[in-house]
Chains A and B, each alone.
Chain A
């Protein structure tokens, strides 16, 4: 049993989804039907944030969103974060600050960080901790992640 076809707008491109089952999450459709495997699948119940994407500018756990309900909305995944001219400031800062170890949480953290810095360009430590508290990381203990967020904030501030 499949749902009626629907169209997802992902990273500025339209994708027709023709063969999804009714219960499929946005995460499943992104990963398995659209070939966008950058969003990760660590808990699939909205606890770990590895699947974080933007839907109409809001961070959501794509594992908790029914794919068909995201039709007509603007979806941004980790694959859409880098521009044509290369990595974003946030992505570069994660590499430079040593915030990446196994890297499984990294795509979700980068999407969450980008969203934070949009609304708060110079966040305090506590604001960063709160903003990323929905993104579990098992490798870093978050120390280098905090460094990366502040480094990205500095560089973004410097570039405007």
Chain B
């Protein structure tokens, strides 16, 4: 266990220290260039015409009036897409621009470039589209029986996981149906970027994304260009959380720039952003848990239906996670989990922090509490009794060979003393600044939840990361296409380099597709491990070359040399060389880093599909105004399995920030979709937790057990905080109110009219 107080603070911090972000100063000074801040003297503005219908046939499309608007340089439709008409992360099933049908509200139909945003808007308004509206398919439960809304059919993926003896029945059974609403990533920096046509007929795209090389390949495909002529450079990213894993305006910008031979800039409005990226999948989940009287879980049955919306995005991987981790971090010897993700005319869904594990955690933790009730057992004891441990088998038949400090995570979180006092200021009561709460109607609840998920990509996917290191004149230059989206990889990259090479000066080149291979996606809690691992190995190779060179030059044994504080010295004494001098002749190394291979799931959802796992627990304390149905989350306490802490300050930041998104899903965040149309596409109507909504997050423990294969033993830490937090808050509201509350977000009406009168 690490205590933050033990961390060191030095001028050039290394592993385990509170290194400040290298981009911190420009970010506080307001000079850091986000993708919406880009400017070019010759630039045009771009914009997008989107479908107002969730489902419609396009009878005709007339752009003549739009072309005639003063200041307009291009109006392009599906006919102008030079290459592949479709793109997509897993399946190329999503049109760059709609041709004969639109399948969700907000689907792009035409794009415009003009001298200024006003001309863009006028041109968009002047495009005449004759739609024949169709009855949208909006109920995911009906999708498999309904007429296909897409040539690929309405079932995106089903995993029928069958594990262990199917004849097992428990002495005690509990059953429940649960639902999770659609959450938005709500990053603050809107989708934006700039495409600049290049001399060679290619294109340079500056954009905020999570995965430059995947974007590059899809963009090149759609433009009909060789990948060598499509160069992407990461622009400042204003948060991501999964919503920037898919393409948004990328191909549109490039088409407009290539067509006009001018740089083109585009910035989505907030409303457009809600239509312009995928959301967290809404889920409907049925569970039946079987246990023996002593609390041992013997079997779990479950059916999961996730609404993928109109296009596949990463739905296939999301349902795999939801299914594989459906029962939580518990030993379950027998299971049948039927997981399906379907296509509807609702907004497309894909990656969001926690990626399928968030939805099922809400359900399996509610089931664990129900089971504890039925057994008249302490809910924390029930969890401890069934907690996974190294050597145990998962639902997929895979044995956990790495670390799994589940019991430690449970105990440290549950035993941590609470600092929560009763509210004194009315602002601290439910309803907050509205000062609506009557303290007599406020009840307090407390509950505990546990969650886990996989780290890195699964099911045989080779998500390698390439990095190079060049040590010259004592300064290390690192090249990696890893997308910094706010998580702090740029800090870790410097720390890792300093640790391995003993240098203070580390330069991290801008992330781009030029001159380096893919770093993989900034998702799945994978970059510390994968790109961190690539940098560690590249620096390690440079170090070996350096020591070999000096050993040869000075006739000493390389094993006797150490690098520290900008010098190379021999332990036996006698040799001391300044690193800058020793690297006047530069040394370089480039590495493609791979994690241990995984296998696809078989027809029964069985197989060694995952690399590693991370576990977290949250305890929530809430106050509920039962008269008004308002909730105030008073305190969150957490423990997390982190492998090893590389940067204490950033670790705390991830745990607090992830928990905030979990609180949001528990009590306020939902994309309201009615007849396939989003009703609250703004920050006025889609509520994100403010500083008054968020409680303090107490970190009970960071469990440090070095994970084999991970650089310095560090696990990814970004996602677990968003997994168990929602479940804990919802359970605490149940504890306070005595209500079932089988759905998140918990709405005021769910508390005031619990019988569904709302």
A residues at B contact (CB < 8 Å): 21, 31, 35, 37-45, 47-48, 50, 77-79, 81-82, 87, 91-92, 94-98, 100-107, 110, 125-126, 128-130, 132-146
A43 to B186, CA, bound (A): 10
A109 to B650, CA, bound (A): 19
Contact status B428-A126, CB under 8 Å: yes
A142 nearest CB neighbor, chain B only:
B691
Contacts of B659 in A (CB 8 A): 141
A129 to B660, CA, bound (A): 14
Contact partner of B650 (CB less than 8 A), chosen from A31, A91, A98, is A98
Q: Which has the most chain A C-beta neighbours within 10 Å: B33, B188, B650, B683?
A: B188
Contact status A130-B433, CB under 8 Å: yes
Contacts of B690 in A (CB 8 A): 129, 132-136
Q: Does B20 sit at the interface, judged by CB under 8 A? A: yes
The answer to whether residues A104 and B683 also contact, given A42-B188, A95-B25 and a CB cut-off of 8 A, is no
- In the complex, the 9 A-B pairs of residues with the closest C-beta atoms, listed nearest first: A38-B30, A102-B486, A103-B27, A78-B30, A141-B660, A104-B238, A141-B656, A143-B656, A95-B24
Contact partner of A141 (CB less than 8 A), chosen from B118, B427, B657, is B657
* Least CB distance, B295 to chain A, in whole angstroms: 34
* Least CB distance, B206 to chain A, in whole angstroms: 14
Q: Does B286 sit at the interface, judged by CB under 8 A? A: no
* Least CB distance, B30 to chain A, in whole angstroms: 2
B residues at A contact (CB < 8 Å): 18, 20-21, 23-25, 27-34, 36-37, 39, 118, 185-190, 236-241, 267, 269-270, 425, 427-428, 433, 485-488, 649-650, 652-653, 656-661, 682-684, 688-692, 694, 696-697
| Chain A to chain B contacts (Cβ below 8 Å), 19 pairs | A37-B39, A40-B34, A42-B188, A43-B682, A98-B653, A100-B21, A101-B488, A103-B28, A104-B189, A104-B239, A132-B690, A133-B690, A133-B692, A134-B690, A136-B690, A138-B661, A139-B486, A143-B656, A145-B691
Contacts of A92 in B (CB 8 A): 28
Contact status B653-A35, CB under 8 Å: no
Contact partner of B31 (CB less than 8 A), chosen from A38, A43, A45, A141, is A38
Contact status A144-B649, CB under 8 Å: yes
B33 nearest CB neighbor, chain A only:
A37
Contact partner of B692 (CB less than 8 A), chosen from A48, A79, A87, A130, is A130
The answer to whether residues A140 and B24 also contact, given A102-B188, A103-B32, A104-B239 and a CB cut-off of 8 A, is no
The answer to whether residues A141 and B694 also contact, given A98-B649, A98-B652, A110-B28 and a CB cut-off of 8 A, is yes
Contact status A142-B33, CB under 8 Å: no
A124 to B246, CA, bound (A): 42
A140 to B688, CA, bound (A): 13
B428 nearest CB neighbor, chain A only:
A126
Contacts of A139 in B (CB 8 A): 239, 486, 653, 657
Contact status B238-A103, CB under 8 Å: yes
Contacts of B650 in A (CB 8 A): 98
A140 to B241, CA, bound (A): 12
Contact status A102-B237, CB under 8 Å: yes
* Least CB distance, B702 to chain A, in whole angstroms: 15
* Least CB distance, A55 to chain B, in whole angstroms: 17
The answer to whether residues A142 and B32 also contact, given A45-B682, A102-B237 and a CB cut-off of 8 A, is no
A40 to B28, CA, bound (A): 12
Contact partner of B652 (CB less than 8 A), chosen from A105, A129, A144, is A144
A126 to B682, CA, bound (A): 27
The answer to whether residues A94 and B28 also contact, given A41-B36, A105-B188, A133-B690 and a CB cut-off of 8 A, is yes
Q: Which has the most chain A C-beta neighbours within 10 Å: B27, B239, B684?
A: B27
B189 nearest CB neighbor, chain A only:
A104
The answer to whether residues A138 and B187 also contact, given A95-B20, A103-B486 and a CB cut-off of 8 A, is yes
Contact partner of B427 (CB less than 8 A), chosen from A95, A126, A146, is A126
